Amino acid sequence: MAVFQRALHRLGERYPALLALIIQVVVTFVIGLAIVAAAHLSAFRPSPLAAGLLHGLLAASLARWLGLSRWWWWLNLLFVPGLLLASGAPLPSWLFLLGFLLLLLLNWNSFGERVPLYLTGAGTRHALACLLEGRGERFTLVDLGCGPAGTLMWLARRFPQAQFVGVETAPLSFAIAWLRCVAQRNCRIRYQNLWRTDLSTIDVAYCFLSPAPMPALWDKARGELPKNAWLISNTFEIPGVAPQRVVELKDWRNSRLLLWEIG
Domain that holds residue 77: 2-91
- CA 138/CA 217 separation, integer angstroms: 25
Model confidence pLDDT, tens digit, residues 85-143? 666 655 455 555 555 556 555 555 554 555 555 566 778 889 999 999 999 999 999 99
Asked if residue 12 is part of any domain, the answer here is yes
Same domain membership, residue 56 and residue 161:
no
Q: Residue 165 phi/psi, 5° resolution?
A: -130, 135
Number of structural domains found in the chain: 2
List pLDDT tens digits, range 199-226: 999 999 999 988 888 999 999 999 999 9
d(CA 110, CA 210): 10
Provide the 8-state DSSP code for 228.
Answer: T
Residues 131 and 251 reside in one and the same domain: yes
Asked which of 68, 91, 114 is the last residue of a domain, the reply is 91
> Are 257 and 138 in the same domain?
yes
Q: CA-to-CA distance for 71 and 209, rounded, in angstroms? A: 13
Taken as a whole, the chain contains a residue count of: 263
In a domain, 107, yes or no: no
pTM over 0.75: no
